[in-house]
Amino acid sequence: MRALQLQRLDGPEGLQLVDVPEPEAGDSVLIDVVAAGVSFPDLLLTRGQYQLKPALPFIPGVEVAGVVRQAPAGAAVKPGQRVMAFSFGLGGFAEVAAIQPEMVFPIPAPWSFEAAAGVVMNYHTAHFALHRRGRLKAEETVVVHGAAGGVGTAAVQVARGAQARVIAVVSDERKAEVARRAGADDVLLSTGDWVAQIREKTGGLGANVVVDPVGGDVFDKSLKCLAPEGRLLVVGFASGRIPEVQVNRLLLRNIDVVGVAWGGFLLHEPSLTRTIAKDLEAMADRGVLAPIVGSVFPLEQGAQALRELDARRATGKVVLRMREG
């Protein structure tokens, strides 16, 4: 099978298109991959900057969508079924993937393979962040940073599904339009005084929940726009700087800084996967979830896809296309 293999820790330039043996099914679901999601962790992996540091060479990619070729007894999916999946063992940038059954889910009928390719990690992360870690309630105000990206658009839609008001923060007008398509009630530009604007739009109270996949200065400023008992959800550090906080600010203002690591938490409580999947399926049936696909690249242009993420040009979910589905 064809696959993109990382052979050097030189960033996207370290990727090489190779022919490698197909993975064995074993107790896994064997999937003929049609599309694979491209994520920020994939970019970090190519530089050796992610917490997971697999030995070289390896095939990046954790998100796939395709057709089941083979499934073990007792699996919730069957051969010939359209599925989306998440792989803890990487290997997604390839034409065939073998993934543990509990991380493989049917694709809702209206969704394309490209739309489904970025769903499991982004939407499960957004749901875990907002509901399990963020304790989101109906009619609360949620601020989503990076709201035009894969995690951001997912967070907008999951928050709307919980009947929350969503304020999106993005860097330019092109991304603002994507955030509106995702369902944001209000969109602010990060180039302006978005802290003051959030306070104005919330009657001086501030936001109940802030979703922050950016870190750096965005984190620092977000602390200033939280309402009493507000929760700042730390999802990632796309800006490159891991921020620090003076904890007396948390005490004096009665606010929380909450870590969000969906993948790591599943090792502690794997049953959460099915709970989240059921809730997301119900939202999809109601038409609340509509994954937004950004650029779609052929497999051999995987390095270019990662460079688009690195340059902050990406909107929606960046996807690699393996074959016609």
Please indicate, yes or no, whether residues 67 and 164 belong to a single structural domain of this protein. Answer: no
Q: What is the pLDDT of residue 42?
A: 94
Q: Could you tell me if residue 64 is inside a domain?
A: yes
Distance CA 156, CA 130 (A): 10
Q: Are 139 and 216 part of one and the same domain?
A: yes
200 with 241, same domain?
A: yes
Residue 10 shares a structural domain with residue 39: yes
Would 279 be classed as within a structural domain? no
| Residue 253 within any structural domain of the chain | yes
Instruction: Looking at the structure, tell me whether residues 206 and 236 fall in a common domain.
Output: yes
> Which residue segment(s) compose the domain that 51 sits in?
2-119+291-321
Based on the fold, state whether residues 144 and 229 are members of the same structural domain: yes
Q: Is the pLDDT of residue 325 over 70?
A: no
Residue 274 lies in a domain: no
Share of the chain above pLDDT 70, in %: 100
Check which CATH number belongs to the domain holding 18 and give it: 3.90.180.10
Q: Of 212, 240, 259, which residue constitutes the final position of a domain?
A: 259
- Whether pTM > 0.75 for this model: the answer is yes
Domain end (from 209, 237, 259)? 259
Q: Does residue 35 form part of some domain?
A: yes
Same structural domain for residues 176 and 142? Answer: yes
The percentage of residues in the chain with a pLDDT greater than 90, rounded to a whole number, is 87
CA 294/CA 291 separation, integer angstroms: 10
Q: Are 126 and 209 in contact (CB under 8 A)?
A: no
Structural domain includes residue 271? no
Tens-digit pLDDT profile for residues 91-140:
999 999 999 999 999 999 889 999 999 899 999 999 999 999 999 999 99
Is 70 exceeded by the pLDDT of residue 257?
yes
Average pLDDT over residues 181-188: 97
Same domain as 145, residue 114 = no
Residue 30 lies in a domain: yes
Mean residue pLDDT of the chain comes to 95
* pLDDT at residue number 314: 83
pLDDT band at 238 (very low <50, low <70, confident <90, very high): confident
User: Residue 86: pLDDT band by 50, 70, 90 thresholds?
Assistant: very high
Within a domain: 217: yes
Say whether both 86 and 44 belong to one domain: yes
Phi, psi of 179 (to 5 degrees): -60, -40
In terms of domains, do 69 and 154 share one? no
**Using 50, 70 and 90 to split pLDDT, how confident is the model at 219?**
very high
For residue 295, pLDDT beyond 90: yes
Shared-domain flag, residues 171 and 234: yes
Residue 253: pLDDT band with limits 50, 70, 90:
very high
CATH number for 209: 3.40.50.720
pLDDT for the residue numbered 80: 97
* pLDDT higher than 90, residue 311: no
Confidence of residue 52 (pLDDT cuts 50, 70, 90): confident
> What DSSP string describes 15-82?
EEEEE-PPPP-TTSEEEEEEEEEE-HHHHHHHTT-SS--PPSSB----EEEEEEEE--TT-SS-TT-E
Instruction: Please tell me the total count of domains within the chain.
Output: 2
Same domain, 113 and 151: no
Write the DSSP assignment of 146-214 as a string of letters. Answer: TTTBHHHHHHHHHHHHTT-EEEEEESSHHHHHHHHHHT-SEEEETTS-HHHHHHHHTTTS-EEEEEESS
Given 259, 281, 307, the domain boundary residue is 259
